């Protein structure tokens, strides 16, 4: 392309990870966007297995063909107790990042209206009638832009909302002898030393000799890499595992915050994924929320575009109208306020919730599908004094 030419698209997605690919996949499935030109821009080719996604689900999902492992049982533990959690009617499902990327790219490779380019985005600029996008190589314009490039500074350079990180390093290990229960995932094992933080182990066994073992914290600051890895070694020894190979590693740092990302949305630019606040602030889980939000988004664009076309006005879509704030946002804020001030309380809060709590209700609550009375039942399982204090702090701040 001649560098003076600027190619125009109906929609551009800056970043082509989870949220963008889910949205584009559903746009294709809907069959309503085949006359719209769509450009996906990402600095990476999306050919690497860079993350493992897990989510609970009780109904069949459109991702079922790429689920590589399901668990019907999970373990919650701390230094004093262990509880086997029967997940049914839910199952805990695992999808390898690369399987997801391959699955979506195969679908969109047959769509002549969709283009993927491996280019690093350097500039996004909204004008009255369109949005301008600059990359290291080219320049583009579009009517609407969906951005999933996360700008750390937005959340981290403000003081109104606490920001924690869910940070972790995981080893995929292969042992010589059978040691893992391949039918049970470990959600949270708080029996590891807390050192003034919220620290736990997360284990995803895929066979009796293979598992992903992840040392995870919900806290403000990251650790030196050796510290996560030392803790994994100590934990493996505690499980009686001395002979093993590390076949792969993964690491991550997911922002946990009630920061109002949606306030960055404008008429033509919608932030999606973690950048749009689609990460559940209190848990860091994003897959399921993105699945829901991407469906809502495709419906939103389809319905609004249709009604604008019907009214035959020169009105255009307003992306700002997409966001809805709910009471779960506030509950997340309370938990984060407590963990931010008293990071050492994480083990006791999660333990009181999981020790006797009804797991189906907890999942329903985390999926933001509970009634007000059910919310109360879940919250009352947590240490009351901490939550009441947080309530006063947040309200009277
Ligand atoms: C290792 C790991 C494991 C996780 N496990 C789970 C899990 O089990 N369950 C769960 O619910 N959530 C999990 N998460 C959290 C969350 O689901 C993921 O982070 C998810 O990928 C977020 O989706 P996204 O679309 O917001 O961002 P991403 O998927 O990260 O997509 C953003 C894209 O933007 C691209 N990009 C960035 N900068 C530029 C630029 N300047 N120009 C062009 N492209 C750019 C990136 O390459 C990336 O492809 C995990 C996260 C990590 C890192």
pLDDT tens per residue, range 150-193:
999 999 999 999 999 999 999 999 999 999 999 999 999 999 99
C-alpha 303 – ligand 1 centre gap (Å): 28
Q: Which atom of ligand 1 is nearest to 287's Cα?
A: 11
Nearest Cα neighbor of 38 from 10, 61, 15 is: 10
C-alpha 18 – ligand 1 centre gap (Å): 6
- Say yes or no to pLDDT of 99 above 60: yes
What pLDDT, on a 0 to 100 scale, did the predictor assign at position 394? 79
Question: Is 22 close to ligand 1, i.e. is its CB under 6 Å away?
Answer: no
Nearest Cα neighbor of 261 from 332, 316, 338, 343 is: 332
C-alpha 95 – ligand 1 centre gap (Å): 14
C-alpha 209 – ligand 1 centre gap (Å): 28
Question: Is 148 close to ligand 1, i.e. is its CB under 6 Å away?
Answer: yes
For ligand 1, atom 3, the nearest C-alpha belongs to 51
Q: How confident is the model at residue 383 (pLDDT cuts 50, 70, 90)?
A: confident
Q: Which atom of ligand 1 is nearest to 46's Cα?
A: 49
How much is the average pLDDT of 37-46? 98
Question: Is 43 close to ligand 1, i.e. is its CB under 6 Å away?
Answer: yes
Per-residue model confidence as pLDDT tens digits over 224-258:
999 999 999 999 999 999 999 999 999 999 999 99
What pLDDT, on a 0 to 100 scale, did the predictor assign at position 1? 47
For ligand 1, atom 37, the nearest C-alpha belongs to 149
C-alpha 4 – ligand 1 centre gap (Å): 32
Question: Is 12 close to ligand 1, i.e. is its CB under 6 Å away?
Answer: no
> Parallel, antiparallel, or unpaired for β 38-42 and 139-147?
unpaired
Q: Where are the beta strands (DSSP E) in 45-90?
A: 52-57, 67-71, 73-77, 82-86
State the pTM of this model.
0.95
Question: Is 107 close to ligand 1, i.e. is its CB under 6 Å away?
Answer: no
- Say yes or no to pLDDT of 126 above 50: yes
Per-residue model confidence as pLDDT tens digits over 181-239:
999 999 999 999 999 999 999 999 999 999 999 999 999 999 999 999 999 999 999 99
Size of the chain in residues? 397
For ligand 1, atom 38, the nearest C-alpha belongs to 149
**DSSP H helical ranges for 246-370:** 287-311, 327-341, 346-356, 359-366
Question: Is 169 close to ligand 1, i.e. is its CB under 6 Å away?
Answer: no
């Amino acid at each position: 392309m001649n560098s003076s030419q600027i190619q125009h698209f109906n929609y551009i997605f800056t970043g082509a990870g989870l949220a963008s690919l889910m949205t584009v996949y559903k746009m294709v499935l809907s069959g309503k966007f085949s006359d719209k030109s769509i450009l996906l821009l990402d600095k990476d080719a999306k050919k690497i297995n860079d993350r493992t996604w897990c989510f609970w689900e009780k109904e069949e999902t459109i991702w079922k063909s790429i689920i590589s492992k399901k668990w019907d049982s999970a373990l919650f533990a701390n230094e004093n107790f262990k509880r086997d959690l029967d997940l049914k009617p839910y199952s805990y499902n695992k999808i390898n990042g690369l399987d997801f990327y391959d699955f979506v790219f195969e679908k969109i490779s047959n769509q002549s209206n969709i283009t993927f380019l491996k280019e690093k985005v350097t500039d996004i600029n909204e004008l009255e009638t369109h949005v301008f996008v600059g990359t290291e190589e080219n320049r583009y314009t579009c009517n609407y832009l969906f951005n999933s490039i996360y700008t750390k500074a937005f959340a981290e350079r403000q003081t109104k909302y606490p920001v924690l990180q869910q940070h972790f390093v995981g080893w995929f290990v292969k042992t010589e002898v059978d040691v893992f229960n391949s039918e049970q995932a470990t959600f949270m094992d708080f029996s590891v030393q807390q050192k003034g933080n919220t620290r736990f182990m997360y284990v995803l066994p895929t066979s009796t000799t293979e598992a992903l073992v992840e040392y995870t914290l919900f806290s403000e600051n990251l650790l030196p890499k050796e510290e996560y890895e030392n803790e994994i070694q100590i934990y493996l020894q505690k499980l009686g595992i001395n002979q093993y190979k590390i076949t792969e590693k993964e690491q991550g740092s997911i922002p946990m915050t009630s920061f109002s990302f949606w306030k960055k949305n404008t008429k033509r630019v919608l932030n999606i994924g973690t950048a749009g606040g689609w990460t559940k602030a209190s848990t860091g889980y994003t897959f399921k929320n993105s699945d829901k939000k991407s469906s809502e988004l495709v419906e939103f664009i389809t319905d609004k575009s249709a009604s604008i076309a019907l009214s035959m006005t020169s009105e255009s879509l307003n992306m700002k109208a997409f966001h809805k704030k709910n009471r779960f946002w506030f509950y997340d804020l309370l938990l984060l306020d407590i963990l931010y001030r008293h990071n050492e309380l994480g083990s006791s809060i999660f333990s009181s919730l999981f020790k006797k709590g009804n797991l189906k209700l907890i999942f329903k609550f985390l999926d933001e599908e509970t009634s007000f009375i059910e919310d109360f039942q879940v919250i009352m399982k947590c240490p009351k004094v901490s939550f009441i204090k947080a309530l006063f702090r947040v309200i009277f701040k």
